[in-house]
Copies of this chain bind each other. A is one copy, B any other.
Amino acid sequence: MIYEDYAIFTPGPVKMSEEILKIGAKQTPYFRNSEFSQVTFACENGLLEMVNAPEGSKVIFLTASGTAAMESAVMNLLNKSDNALVVNGGGFGSRFVDICATHAIPHTDFKVSDTDLSDIESLAPNETYTALVVNAHETSVGHLYNLNAMGEYANKNDMLYIVDAISMLVTDPLDMQQSNIDVVIAGSQKGLALPPGLSMVILSPKAINKLQDINSLYFNFKDYLSNGERGQSPYTPAVTIMLQLNARLEQIKQRGGVTQSIANAKDVASYFRKSIKALPLKEYTPYMPNAMTTLAPTDGKSAMDIVNDLEKNYKVMVCPNGGAERDVVFRVSHMGEMTKEYTDILINALHDYYGVARAE
């Protein structure tokens, strides 16, 4: 088994809890029955509660990774008569732009940097936009946008507000009602700390009303909704991950609810950021989520070399960036089963790596 004895600080897969891992070793049960329907309903209700979804909201469970949820949300909700404002602050925003282009959805590639979009009103004075599409946390750079400010803007301009929350759910606050969010996209292998392979699209009643007939079987949301009424899915679900999701939602509840999980992530992230202050590493953006810390070397070292050295010499996995940012920045996840003690493994490795004694 690869990397079994490594400490993992990558933003997906993330460190999982023993309780959830154990379920992965169970025989996958047959699922076309009411017992599994109850599991689906419990997952749906748990997720709706977690994001404070408006009454009448529904969850689409896709056996697929997050990009499929992003793409299918666009396919089911937008069409040629739309004009989507797509926030593009990095690799995942750029993916939403690609998705709109691929499906011939009229859109504006809204390139942003150095802002959390609290000022979206002045940056993108709306004239004809019908939808706002955004990755709440642009994972490629560790940049969190202001969901409330964007929600006010979308609401005022009667735009459908689609939020990819894949890499900030459970670690950073998201409230569909407070932020007027119509669609939330989630994935299994980030804050939910499950194996990859399940993605979810949470639809408000407003979004459900907008669903259109599309030329797709696998991504046909109307079909998922009609099967979902009896807790089933049109095609074989990711049964094992659904069982793990059910247990994980219960675990989050037992631990004090999602606010407690968010507080814990915030606490761990702050601890990490404070603990490495003496090192030649700079926070890459002032808008970092609790989910992740992005660090830029200030001593001329290559970020990619640091990632490789941590892996090779300390058995610690952090996440490199690609392309132009390859040498500029690397990423440290605080998602999943994170504690200060576990984070100490990375903090100590970094201090040792730089030959700097850790402050008491």
Chain A residues within CB distance 8 Å of chain B: 1-4, 6, 8, 10, 12-13, 15-16, 21-32, 35-36, 39, 63-68, 71-72, 95, 98-99, 102-104, 187, 189, 195-198, 215-218, 234-241, 243, 317, 319-320
State whether A30 and B10 are in contact (beta carbons under 8 Å apart), knowing that A24-B240, A64-B64, A67-B235 are contacts in the complex: yes
Alpha-carbon gap, A357 to B217, bound state (A): 48
State whether A29 and B6 are in contact (beta carbons under 8 Å apart), knowing that A235-B67, A241-B197 are contacts in the complex: yes
State whether A1 and B243 are in contact (beta carbons under 8 Å apart), knowing that A67-B217, A71-B217, A235-B68 are contacts in the complex: yes
Q: Which residues of B contact A29 (CB under 8 A)?
A: 1-4, 6, 8, 13, 317
Q: Which residues of B contact A25 (CB under 8 A)?
A: 21-22, 24-25
Contact A35 B3 (CB under 8 A): yes
CB distance from A291 to the nearest CB of B (A): 16
Alpha-carbon gap, A60 to B317, bound state (A): 27
Contact A28 B189 (CB under 8 A): yes
Closest to A5 in B: B27
Contact B2 A218 (CB under 8 A): no
State whether A235 and B195 are in contact (beta carbons under 8 Å apart), knowing that A28-B13, A29-B6, A217-B98 are contacts in the complex: no
Q: Name, among A3, A35, A319, the residue most crowded by chain B CB atoms within 10 Å (CB to CB).
A: A3
Q: Name, among A15, A21, A197, A243, the residue most crowded by chain B CB atoms within 10 Å (CB to CB).
A: A197
Q: Which residues of B contact A216 (CB under 8 A)?
A: 71, 102
- Known pairs A1-B23, A2-B39, A195-B238; list 6 more (Cβ under 8 Å): A3-B35, A63-B68, A65-B237, A102-B216, A187-B236, A195-B239
Q: Which residues of B contact A16 (CB under 8 A)?
A: 27-28
Q: Name, among A10, A30, A36, A71, the residue most crowded by chain B CB atoms within 10 Å (CB to CB).
A: A30
Please state the number of chain copies in the assembly: 2
Interface class of chain A by DSSP? loop
A-B pairs, 6 with minimum CB distance: A24-B24, A25-B25, A13-B28, A3-B29, A65-B236, A197-B238
From B102, B189, B236, give the contact of A189 (CB < 8 A).
B236
Contact A196 B236 (CB under 8 A): yes
Sample 8 A-B pairs with CB under 8 A, ordered by A number. A13-B28, A15-B27, A16-B28, A21-B26, A63-B63, A65-B235, A103-B215, A195-B240
Alpha-carbon gap, A25 to B17, bound state (A): 10
Alpha-carbon gap, A2 to B23, bound state (A): 11
Q: Which residues of B contact A39 (CB under 8 A)?
A: 2
Q: Which residues of B contact A98 (CB under 8 A)?
A: 217
Closest to A35 in B: B2
Q: Name, among A10, A72, A240, the residue most crowded by chain B CB atoms within 10 Å (CB to CB).
A: A240
Q: Which residues of B contact A22 (CB under 8 A)?
A: 25
Q: Name, among A27, A63, A67, the residue most crowded by chain B CB atoms within 10 Å (CB to CB).
A: A27
CB distance from A92 to the nearest CB of B (A): 11
From B2, B36, B66, B218, give the contact of A67 (CB < 8 A).
B218
Q: Which residues of B contact A6 (CB under 8 A)?
A: 29
